[in-house]
Amino acid sequence: MEQITVEIDGAKVSGPKGSTILDMAKAGGIDIPTLCYDPRLTPYGACRLCLVEVEGARGLLPACYAEATEGMVVSTKTEQLERIRKTLVELLVSDHPMECQGCSKSGRCELQKLANRYGVTDNSAFEGEIHEYELLEENPFVMRDYNKCIMCGRCIRICREVQGVGVYDFVNRGFKAIPGTPYDKPMQETPCEFCGQCISTCPTGALKARPYEGEGRVAARDMLRNACAYFKMSEEDMMEALGLEGWVVRTTCAYCGCGCQLDLHVIDNKVVEVTSPLMVGAGQGNLCVKGRFGYDFIDSDERLTKPLVKKGDKFVEVEWDEALDLVAKKLGDIKKKSGPDSIGVLSSARITNEENYLVQKFTRAVVGTNNVDHCARL
């Protein structure tokens, strides 16, 4: 691919032709603030926080949308740009409930980070009408708090561009506009798949995962890292000093063969939230409803910890040796009486590839049949 070179804040940065100014800046480790940008989505240019000055260009250009060209000279941190960005953040904060301490998105909220960056508090320079929307909790997966919505459109775009569903769209006009559902219907009465993609892209606390709300402050991860840097301690030593167990564990989703990467947020040895790292692995940060919400079984009181064998009319817990001996005897009896093709084996996505290999090997070589299938095959 043809490469081009641009100058950003005095530094030479190279990248593939067709890249945006924001892409080039990221490649060069140069930070340009954004709120409507998500690498999974088509550039939108709505929030205007990424405005930059380009030598020879008429006016300011949105870095997320403007294409970089050979020899372009870009400035990202001039006095004018920083003043504009601070004003934009002040406008957003003027109608935003800055209840960060009680918000589970605190520490990960992109608006909060920008407000801290530009020294903007809830005592905004702008005064006006304040939204007072009701918290929507009509379904078990997605909580909607439109009081915290900044109209970035990311939920609408990810639902259309990635999921291909289109549950959300802008409804109403002007100050009353929100990313609502058709005819203001509850989400369970729409084509929503409850994948949680809108939650994953929302930059504020407007959309949150209801199953994980109140389970634990995942923002503690970021605060703990800051504490580690301040006290010059390792994460392990800090966790031990605070008496906490666990952290963010990178793993692979066990529900199908796609191989989506997960971040399990663990506090005191309990999974309190599941997210997916952006632009990593097969899923690139995108998950389905099972991958994002289907992990309550880990700590379920109904989870089996020992094999059960039916004795009389009741299932009784037994040791593994007894259970395996019974299964071997039953399979041998069925094979002898009705032949190997009377037996079928169904494997699982929740075991390893090596274990699945052994399952099919056992089915074919020991039982003597090809009747083996897998729940994730379809």
Residue spans of the domains in the chain: they are: 3-77, 220-299, 306-338, 340-378
**What is d(CA 114, CA 84) in angstroms, rounded to the nearest whole number?**
13
Give residue 291's pLDDT band: very low, low, confident or very high (50, 70, 90).
very high
Give residue 377's pLDDT band: very low, low, confident or very high (50, 70, 90).
low
The token duo for 92 is: 């957003």
Q: What is the pLDDT of residue 275?
A: 92
| Fold exhibited by the domain 220-299 | N-terminal domain of TfIIb (2.20.25)
Where do we find the tokens 């005897």?
329
219, 106 contact by CB (below 8 A)? yes
Give the gyration radius of the chain's Cα atoms. Answer: 26
Mean pLDDT of 272-276: 90
**H helix runs in 76-161, sequence order:** 79-93, 110-117, 154-161
Q: What is the pLDDT of residue 100?
A: 84
Mean pLDDT of 75-91: 96
Mean pLDDT of 138-144: 95
Burial of 103: CB neighbours in 10 Å, binned 0-12, 13-18, 19+: buried
Q: What is the pLDDT of residue 245?
A: 53
How far apart are the two ends of the chain, measured CA to CA in Å?
36
Mean pLDDT of 211-238: 67
State phi, psi for 47 to the nearest 5 degrees: -75, -25
Mean pLDDT of 144-163: 97
Residue 337 neighbours by CB under 8 Å, 6+ apart = none
List the one residue out of 61, 118, 55 whose CA is nearest residue 86. 118
64 pLDDT more than 80: yes
Percent of the chain with pLDDT over 70: 93
**What is d(CA 245, CA 237) in angstroms, rounded to the nearest whole number?**
11
Mean pLDDT of 37-54: 96
Q: Which helix (H) or strand (E) holds 16?
A: strand 11-16
Tens-place pLDDT, residues 182-207: 999 999 999 999 999 999 999 999 99
Mean pLDDT of 331-353: 92
253, 230 contact by CB (below 8 A)? no
160 pLDDT more than 80: yes
User: What is each CA distance from 335 to 118, 286, 324, 363, 374, in whole angstroms?
Assistant: 74, 44, 16, 12, 21
Where do we find the tokens 């069925």?
334
Which range, of 134-143, 171-180, 230-239, averages the lowest pLDDT? Answer: 230-239
| Antiparallel, parallel or unpaired: β 73-75 and 3-8 | parallel
**What is d(CA 116, CA 110) in angstroms, rounded to the nearest whole number?**
10
238, 224 contact by CB (below 8 A)? yes
Residue 126 neighbours by CB under 8 Å, 6+ apart = 90, 91, 94
Per DSSP, the residues of 150-179 read ----HHHHHHHHTSS----EEES-GGG-EE
Burial of 171: CB neighbours in 10 Å, binned 0-12, 13-18, 19+: middle
204 CB neighbour count, 10 Å cutoff: 22
| Antiparallel, parallel or unpaired: β 73-75 and 142-144 | unpaired
**What is d(CA 360, CA 357) in angstroms, rounded to the nearest whole number?**
5
Tens-place pLDDT, residues 96-108: 998 887 788 887 8
**What is d(CA 246, CA 251) in angstroms, rounded to the nearest whole number?**
14
Q: What is the pLDDT of residue 107?
A: 78
Mean pLDDT of 321-335: 96
User: What is each CA distance from 319 to 83, 301, 332, 352, 355, in whole angstroms?
Assistant: 70, 20, 20, 23, 21
When comparing pLDDT for 232 and 294, which is higher? Answer: 294
When comparing pLDDT for 225 and 339, which is higher? Answer: 339
Judge: domain 3-77, CATH 3.10.20.740.
yes
pTM above 0.85, yes or no: no
